[in-house]
Structure 1
């Protein structure tokens, strides 16, 4: 997008009454932003949702001054822009009806990686959530996914830090312009994130981190990724909004289960209970459900994913890996387990995503 195209697009987005959906209608009808301002009222009036008030607002010349000011900020700060129809726009986000028409990015972001997941959760992360998040990212690291989050306190920053620790690209989606950072205490992470990843926002340089902007921000977190993972959440919270948005976008959602008495497991448990999220107990669950290819990876990666198997599970897994699909009774006999004990062990292994049941009481290793 050249400077002139960007100028008119910014001006269009500053028109009162022109949100992302309306902007797309105007652009689809007129061809580009400059043509919207040149179009006759008779043409514009034929567009669904365009009324007399919007026709009047489109004559507002002050938007050109605001657009010029924003372009100066973009150039002086080396900000990148991505238009929703261009190749440098996140592919999955393009397919969300309410996706931003224009996003601003800073850093070294590579959207070509198809494995992109978002990790969200409470700002009051517990030691349980912290350890799970770090272990999950460590086990996923050999597959080189992009880790997306909101750069907030709690789960967000733990996910970003873990991604950086294991050399993964990580992206912070912000609820304000790129002229600032919120929370300010996280400024110390910016440089390292921008080396391999960076920041995305739809908000202009004069935008402050107001409450409603965080909700709008969440649709980018949910829409640009293949799956959303909720690590910990109370029964209400922004991460649950993100999970619901991901469901609306037909994305996979995962939630980490916890004790029913734990405040910050209630949201996750409810997502699972209401079938709005898959159970996530380790990296293997995610890899299996997303059908990520691990067969071409080294055996060491396979071993790393399953190091939390208990001794009984390891015996059964090794047996199935060696012998292929087998009957439940034969597994019990060959592994020397009483038959009554098998159902519980196999169920746990199935939840971990390392075996799958087949018709006729057969099981096989994944």
Structure 2
């Protein structure tokens, strides 16, 4: 998108009454934002949802001053922009009816053909939640997913930090413009995140982190991702809103179960109980439910000389070592595990680099 096209698009987005859905209707009808401003009232009036008030607002010249100011900020700060029809726009987000027409970003991104998951939860994360989050990301690291969250206190920042620690791309979706950071105490993480990932927002440089903007931000967190994971949550909170949005977008939702007496497990337990989320106990659950192919993991992941296997894994390893390659069903029967549990065990062993899958649901020791 050239500078002139961006200018008129910014102006359109500042027209009172032109939201993401109406804006897309107009753009689809007229082709570009400049043509919308040049259109006659009778051409605009045939668009479903346009009435006299919006027709009047489209004649408001002040939107061009606001667009010029924002365009200057974008150029002076080298802000990246992605129009919803651009290749650079996150693919899954394109399919959400209320996705932003334009997003602003700062960092180093590579979205193409990438696994993406959102990790959300309470700002009052417990040691249980923190340990689970870090372990989950550690176990997923061989599959190189992008970790998305909201850069807030608690679960969000733990997820971002863990992603950086395991050299994964991580993206913070902000509820304000790129001229500031909230919370301010997280400013120390910005440079490191922008090296491999960074920040995305739909909000302009004059936008402050108001309460309602966090709710709007959550639809981007849910929409960008293949799945949303709720680590911990009370019975109310933003993470539950994100989970509901993900369900509305027909995305997978996972929740980490906890004790019924724990305040910050109530939201997760409720999601599971009402069948709004799958139970998540480890990385294998996620990999199995999303049908991620372990064979896609980088070649740098090698079998270790000394691998700590769980007792169940050791039993399977010993069986395969004694009997050679074998079918999943046969392994389950011989090792006395139900199929669903057997699949989880095999995924964990693949992640540890001690077995590999073969065509026809066969497995063998590496």
Aligned to 1:70: 70
1:86 and 2:78 are equivalent in the alignment: no
Listed as ranges, the gaps of 5+ residues in structure 1 are 336-341, 356-362
Aligned to 1:358: none
Deviation at 1:298, TM superposition (A): 7.5
Select which of 323, 328, 345 maps to 2:326. 323
Superposed CA offset, 1:297-338 (max 9, x none): 47995979xx8864145314653685324469952xxx5xxx
Could you tell me the TM-score, scaled by structure 1's length? 0.88
Aligned residues: 346
Q: Quick one: distance in 2 between partners of 1:242 and 1:251?
A: 11
Q: Quick one: distance in 2 between partners of 1:59 and 1:296?
A: 53
Q: Quick one: distance in 2 between partners of 1:299 and 1:316?
A: 24
Superposed CA offset, 1:62-84 (max 9, x none): 00000000000001111000000
Change (3 A) 1:86 1:230: same
**Contact kept? 2:325, 2:363, Cα under 8 Å:** no
1:346 and 2:354 are equivalent in the alignment: no
1:123 and 2:123 are equivalent in the alignment: yes
Aligned to 1:199: 199
1:236 and 2:230 are equivalent in the alignment: no
Segment of structure 1 superposing worse, 266-275 or 205-214:
266-275
**Contact kept? 1:285, 1:351, Cα under 8 Å:** no
Q: Quick one: distance in 1 between partners of 2:173 and 2:275?
A: 27
Listed as ranges, the gaps of 5+ residues in structure 2 are 348-360
Change (3 A) 1:302 1:326: farther
Q: Quick one: distance in 1 between partners of 2:228 and 2:69?
A: 36
Q: Runs of 4+ in structure 1 displaced over 6 angstroms? A: 363-366
Deviation at 1:349, TM superposition (A): 2.3
Superposed CA offset, 1:208-232 (max 9, x none): 0001000000000000111111111
Change (3 A) 1:7 1:116: same
SS at match of 1:88: coil
**Contact kept? 1:116, 1:227, Cα under 8 Å:** yes
Aligned to 1:152: 152
Segment of structure 1 superposing worse, 59-68 or 112-121:
112-121
Q: Quick one: distance in 1 between partners of 2:343 and 2:259?
A: 17
Q: Quick one: distance in 1 between partners of 2:343 and 2:260?
A: 19
Aligned to 1:291: 291
Q: Quick one: distance in 1 between partners of 2:332 and 2:83?
A: 59
CA RMSD, Structure 1 to Structure 2 (Å): 2.4
Segment of structure 1 superposing worse, 147-156 or 284-293:
284-293
Change (3 A) 1:330 1:213: closer
Q: Quick one: distance in 1 between partners of 2:303 and 2:251?
A: 28
Segment of structure 1 superposing worse, 261-270 or 312-321:
312-321
**Contact kept? 2:332, 2:339, Cα under 8 Å:** no
SS at match of 2:59: coil
**Contact kept? 2:219, 2:242, Cα under 8 Å:** yes
Aligned to 1:174: 174
Superposed CA offset, 1:147-186 (max 9, x none): 0000000000000000111111100000000000000000
**Contact kept? 2:144, 2:297, Cα under 8 Å:** no
